[in-house]
Amino acid sequence: MGVLHCRITWSSFGATNLPLRLSESFALPSLPTVVWMYPAGIDTLVQVLADNPTRHTDNTPNELRLAMDENHTNPHPPKNIASIAATFEGSLAIIAVALGWAFGVMPTETLRWSLPAVGWGLVATVPMLVLLWICVNVPWRPLDNLTRKVEETIRPLLQGCSLVDLGAVSLLAGLGEEMLFRGFLQQLIADWVGGPTGIWAGLAMGAVVFGLLHAITPMYAVVACLIGLFLGWLWLATGNLLAPITAHAVYDFLALVYFLRIRPARIEV
């Protein structure tokens, strides 16, 4: 891939057009970090670079080195991170509707208000919470790495959010992701393949794509794929997209509350 050259405006230090060189070993950030980076601007780019093992090279400007080293120990996510995350998650619903219109598969077709669907969604959070308990309590290195990565991602980003903020992010995550992965993608594949085989193909492929796009760690991708299978099955079983939306949103909220309000911060020795 070679060396990436770009020019940025370094307003934080009163300088402009400093050349920034990123080595080919620079790792692409995870999706949540991209959500943080995009609207936050250059200060957040510095944070992402600071978190990379190859933080700077001989070609990195001194101002950039100082900023990277400072942000490595003092990360500062934007104050409106909850609004940013909620907007991103909510935009997935708009994307799902747009793709549905383009491909003739509307994700809102099976979305309707129903108390039984909400009830089944609430019940469906139980096995997902059991899976969370396994991930944080079973002493297995892949699961420990998964938990550590989640903590490293969530705590710096959302530790200043209120319960209302977390609820809004969770609700829009459930709505946007379920409309995109279940309401659109799973149904699209099912229609393409057709018949009973198409139903299972849609369920499997929707879950795999869902897992791959949550691949913060390999184990995280596996866990997300299992959750995707479960939510896809829940949609098929109830015939109402509201059920997996409810389960997804409630699970996300409870998981965020656990990691941010209940679980003690990990102390590195």
- Read off the pLDDT of residues 228-264 as tens digits, 9 standing for 90 and up: 999 999 999 999 999 999 999 999 999 999 999 999 8
Q: Give, as one character, the DSSP assignment of residue 12.
A: G
Residue 104 has pLDDT above 70, yes or no: yes
Percentage of residues in the chain having pLDDT higher than 70: 70
Query: Which pLDDT score, from 0 to 100, does residue 45 have?
Result: 33
pLDDT at position 266 is 72
Compare 56 and 197 and report the one with higher pLDDT.
197
Counting Cβ atoms within 10 Å, is residue 87 exposed (0-12), middle (13-18) or buried (19+)?
Answer: middle
Q: Which residues contact 97 (CB under 8 A, 6 or more apart)?
A: 106, 107, 108, 179
How many other β-carbons are positioned within 10 Å of the β-carbon of residue 36? 24
Mean pLDDT of 78-107: 94
- Output helix, strand, coil percentages for the chain, rounded to the nearest 5: 70, 5, 25
Query: Across the chain, what does the average pLDDT equal?
Result: 79
- Residue 58 is predicted with a pLDDT of 53
* Residue-level pLDDT at 20: 37
Predicted structure pTM score: 0.74
The stretch 136-143 carries a mean pLDDT of: 96
Q: How far apart are CA 226 and CA 206, in angstroms?
A: 11
Count of beta carbons in the 10 Å neighbourhood of residue 253: 20
**pLDDT for the residue numbered 264:** 86
How far is it, in rounded angstroms, from Cα 41 to Cα 77?
11
pLDDT of residue 80: 85
Mean pLDDT score, 114-126: 98
Is residue 158 within 8 Å of 211, Cβ to Cβ?
A: no
Structure confidence by residue, pLDDT tens digits, 25-43: 333 334 443 333 333 333 3
**pLDDT, position 110:** 96
Please spell the DSSP secondary structure of 60-125, one letter per residue. S-HHHHHHHHHHHHS----TTHHHHHHHHHHHHHHHHHHHHHHHT--TTTT----HHHHHHHHHHH
